Chains A and B, each alone.
Chain A
Amino acid sequence: MSAVRRRPKLLRNLNAKFAAMPMILTTLVVFVGGTIWTVVYSFTNSKLLPRLNFVGFAQYERLWNTGRWETSIHNLLLYGVFALVFTITIGFLLAVLLDQKIRFEDAFRTILLYPFALSFIVTGLVWQWLLNPNLGIQNAVRSLGWESFSFDPLYTPKIVMFGILIGGLWQGTGFIMCVMLAGLRGVDEEIWKASRVDGIPAWKTYIFVVIPMMRPVFITSLVLVASGIIKLYDLVVAMTSGGPGGSSEVPAKYVYDYMFTAQNLGQGLAASTMMLASVIIILIPWAYLEFGGRKRG
C-alpha cells in the first residue's frame, strides 16, 4: 500500500496507475482505438460483418450520391443554423431578463429549465401530441373561430425540421440561459456603475461592453449547442421517425439505420466518419481560440 522507494520508473506510483486503468483503457481502446477502427473500416465494403476488404473511397462516393444522405445533411444544417441562432439569442435574452434583480427569479428559472431534465424522447412525444393537426394546437386555434389556421409542421415535409426545432428549443434553451446567467453574474459590478455614471443606456452597455466581455461564455455555449446538434437523433425518432416520407432524416439516424438495420456496415461507418470530420471542423477553431490564444496572450 505505502509509497514505493526507488523502483523502476514504470512501477512507481503503481496504485494510481492501477486506479486510472479504466480511464487509460477508455481513452486508448474506445476513444482512440474505436475512432481509428471506424475510419479504417469506412474504406472497406463490409456488409453484415466487418471485413478488411478495401475499396478506397467507394463508400464515400456512394454516400454523397445517396439522396437520403443529402437530405440528412441539408436537414442538419437547417436545424443547426436555426438552433444555434435561436438557442444563443433566446438564452441570452432570457438570462438578461432574469438578471434584472427581479423577484421570483428562482421560480422563473425553475420553470424555464425543467424541460432540460426531460429526455428527448419525452420532449419529442409531448410536442408530437401538441403539434397533432387534428387534436393539438391547430385544432385548438381553429375551434376559437379562426377556421383557416394551419399549423402542422410535423406533417409538412418542407417545414418538418422547424417542427422538430420547436421541441429542441423548448428542451435546450433553459440550459443555455443558465450558462449565460452565470456569465452575466461574472461581469464586474463596477462596469455597471461606470456605465451608469457615464449615462450610457443599459442596452448599449450590454451590446458594447457586456457581450464582448462574455466572449468565452458565448464560445462555450456555441460549442455545447453545436455538439448537441450533431448528435440530434432521439428527438427526430420520437417526433417523426424521419418522416413524412423521409423528409426529416438526420445523419445520426442514417448511421444507425445502415449499421444496425440495413446491414451495410461500411456505408454506416463512412457516414459516421463524415460526422467525425464535421466535429473536427468545428472543434479545431475552438481549440485554437481557447488554448492557442491563451498561450500567446
Chain B
Amino acid sequence: MANASTNIAAAGPRGPKPRRAISGRNIMIYGTLGLVALYYALPLYVMIVTSLKGMPEVRLGHIFAPPVEITFQPWVKAWAQACTGLNCDGLSRGFWNSVRILIPSVVISIAVASVNGYALVNWKFKGSETFFTILIFGSFIPYQVMLYPIVILLREMGIYGTLGGLVMVHTIFGMPILTLLFRNYFTSVPEELFKAARVDGAGFWGIYFRIMLPMSMPIFVVAIILQVTGIWNDFLFGVVFTKPDLYPMTVQLNNIVNSVQGVKEYNVNMAATMITGLVPLTVYFISGKLFVRGIAAGAVKG
C-alpha cells in the first residue's frame, strides 16, 4: 500500500509546491491507512477462510492461513442442518423468517414515516411540531424502558409473538429517524410546487402520490437501505417480540453459535455468521455512497 505512488492529486494548483510522488508524508499516510484497512478487513477474511475449511484443518489453528482444501460443506450444513437446541433444520428457517419480517416492516415503516414527514412540512397542524419534537427525543429513550409497555400493548391487541406485532415494533422504532429523514427532504422541495397543485385542486393524498412521491425517489432509496440493514441486524426486538419458531436470523445465529451442547464446529459457525452478514453486506457494497448518505442523514440533528 505504501508505494501507491504517483500522487498527483496532492499537487493541485492550490498546493504550496509540487510534491514528490514518494515523499515521507505520503508513505506515512498510505502506510497508516493501509495497515488500518488491513485490520478492518481481517475479520471478514478470517470469516470467509474459516468457513471454507474442514474441521481437521480448523483444529490446526492456522486461523489466518487460506484453506488448503476448499470445502463448501460448512455452508451447506449451516444453511440446512445446524442445530439450535430445538430443531436441526439450519439457518434457512431464520433466513426466511427474517425475509418475512423484513419486507412488510420496511414497506410499512417507510410508508408511515414518509406521510408523517409530508404532513409535518406541508400540512402543519396545531401541535404537529410538538409531536415531532417528542418523536425525536423519544429516539434517545433506551429501548429497555419501552419494552414491557409494548409487550402489554401487543398482548392487548392480540398480536404479541406474531409477525404483525414485530412489524409494528419496527415501524414504531424506525419512525423517529425516518420521519426526520423525510421531513428534511420534503423541506427542500420548492413550496411553489405544492401551492400550484393546491390551486389546481389537488388534496392531501393527491399531492403526496402525484408530486411528492415521484419527486423523492432518492430519499426513498436511502430510507430503504437504512431500514433493510437496520431491521435485518435487529436482535433485541426479535428476541422479545417473537416466539422461537419465528425468530429472525440474528437470534437463530446466536443460538446456533453460542449453544453449549455438542462439539463446536467453528467452520459451520463462521459459515452461518457469513450467511447472516451477507444481506447487509450486499446492500452496503451495492449502494455505496447512498449508504453513507443514509447514515449521515441519520446523524444530523433535527
Contact = CB atoms under 8 A, between A and B. Distances in A.
B137 interface: yes
A20 B131 contact: yes
A237 B144 contact: no
B104 to A, nearest CB: 15
B196 interface: no
B22 to A, nearest CB: 13
Interface in B46-76: 46-47, 50, 58-59, 61-64
Given A101-B10, A111-B40, A117 B281 contact: yes
A256 interface: yes
A22 B175 contact: yes
Interface string B203-235: 111100000000000000000000001001111
Given A15-B204, A50-B152, A134-B61, A108 B33 contact: yes
Contacts of B258: 237-238, 241
A3 interface: yes
A142 to B, nearest CB: 9
A132 B146 CA distance: 36
B148 interface: yes
Which of the listed residues A26, A113, A134, A268 has the most CB atoms from chain B within 10 Å of its own CB?
A26
Contacts of A118: 233, 277, 280-281
A283 B141 CA distance: 10
Given A1-B205, A125-B273, A255-B144, A178 B135 contact: no
Contacts of B134: 27-28, 31-32
B284 A117 contact: yes
B141 to A, nearest CB: 6
A118 B250 CA distance: 11
Which of the listed residues B150, B179, B233 has the most CB atoms from chain A within 10 Å of its own CB?
B233
A276 B142 contact: yes
Interface string A191-213: 00100100000000000000000
A121 B254 contact: yes
Interface of B: 4, 7, 9-10, 12, 14, 16, 29-30, 32-33, 36-37, 40-44, 46-47, 50, 58-59, 61-64, 112, 115-116, 118-120, 123-126, 128, 131-132, 134-135, 137-138, 140-150, 152-153, 171-172, 175, 179, 198, 201, 203-206, 229, 232-236, 239-240, 250, 253-254, 257-258, 266, 269-270, 273, 276-277, 280-281, 283-285, 288, 291-292, 295-296, 299-301
Contacts of B239: 256
Nearest to A176: B299
A279 B43 contact: no
A119 interface: yes
Nearest to A124: B254
Nearest to A272: B144
Contact of B7 (A37, A103, A119): A103
5 contacts: A101-B12, A119-B233, A119-B235, A128-B257, A132-B266
Given A35-B141, A37-B152, A238-B254, 20 more contacts: A1-B206, A19-B116, A20-B115, A30-B150, A34-B149, A38-B145, A115-B40, A118-B233, A119-B250, A119-B276, A119-B280, A120-B233, A125-B253, A132-B266, A140-B64, A237-B254, A241-B258, A259-B147, A283-B137, A283-B140
B116 to A, nearest CB: 5
Contacts of A241: 258
B61 A26 contact: no
Contact of B145 (A20, A111, A178, A272): A272
